[in-house]
Homo-oligomer: A and B are copies of this chain.
Amino acid sequence: MATTPRKSRTLFPRAGHNHAQCVSAALAAAAALCERDGQRLTPLRQRVLELVWSSHQPIGAYAILDQLKGDGRSAAPPTVYRALEFLLERGLVHRIESLNAFIGCPAPGVEHPVQFLICRRCGTTAEIDDRRVADAIGKSASERGFTVERRVIEVSGLCLHCQDGKGRSRAHA
């Protein structure tokens, strides 16, 4: 069972929070989950997960690749995409389709039809799990005889902080 506090799934990440805690919690949860399932969280996979968790902004595969190269490690696109595939399959990261980018999942190992709130100014992206949204989509689909398998729900706009005009802008991107 993941030990990530529920708050991180329901609140928008604050600007000043201790992000090192997010990272270490995510790595610990990932290790536990892989252990439980008999999967190998290799150093490469762990490093990619750590890079994805380097912020609460989605990160592109090639940005991850650049970081890996910076490690002194040998790396090419498949290096990154294979690690991401592993992490995606286990729900440790999510793919943001509208950005071609990836973000860490704060609640891996739990079934959750997820939605994302993406601030276009600071880039901060919150994973939320609102049952009302999932229910509304489920009803809408079933009324049309449609069986839902996968949901892509990505909402862009401005987070509270950036509406104030106080938000820091997107980190060098």
Contact = CB atoms under 8 A, between A and B. Distances in A.
Interface in A113-165: 115, 117, 119-120, 126, 128, 130, 132-133, 135-137, 139-141, 144-160, 163
Contacts of A146: 12, 117, 119, 126, 155, 157-160
A156 to B, nearest CB: 4
B158 A149 contact: yes
A140 B127 CA distance: 12
Chain A binding surface SS class: mixed
A12 B125 CA distance: 32
A133 B126 contact: no
Nearest to A164: B145
Contacts of A159: 145-146
What are the nearest 4 A-B pairs in CB distance?
A: A145-B160, A130-B140, A149-B157, A152-B154
23 contacts: A98-B152, A115-B140, A117-B144, A117-B146, A119-B146, A126-B144, A132-B140, A133-B136, A133-B137, A133-B140, A141-B157, A145-B159, A147-B163, A149-B157, A149-B158, A150-B155, A150-B156, A150-B157, A151-B153, A152-B153, A152-B156, A153-B153, A153-B154
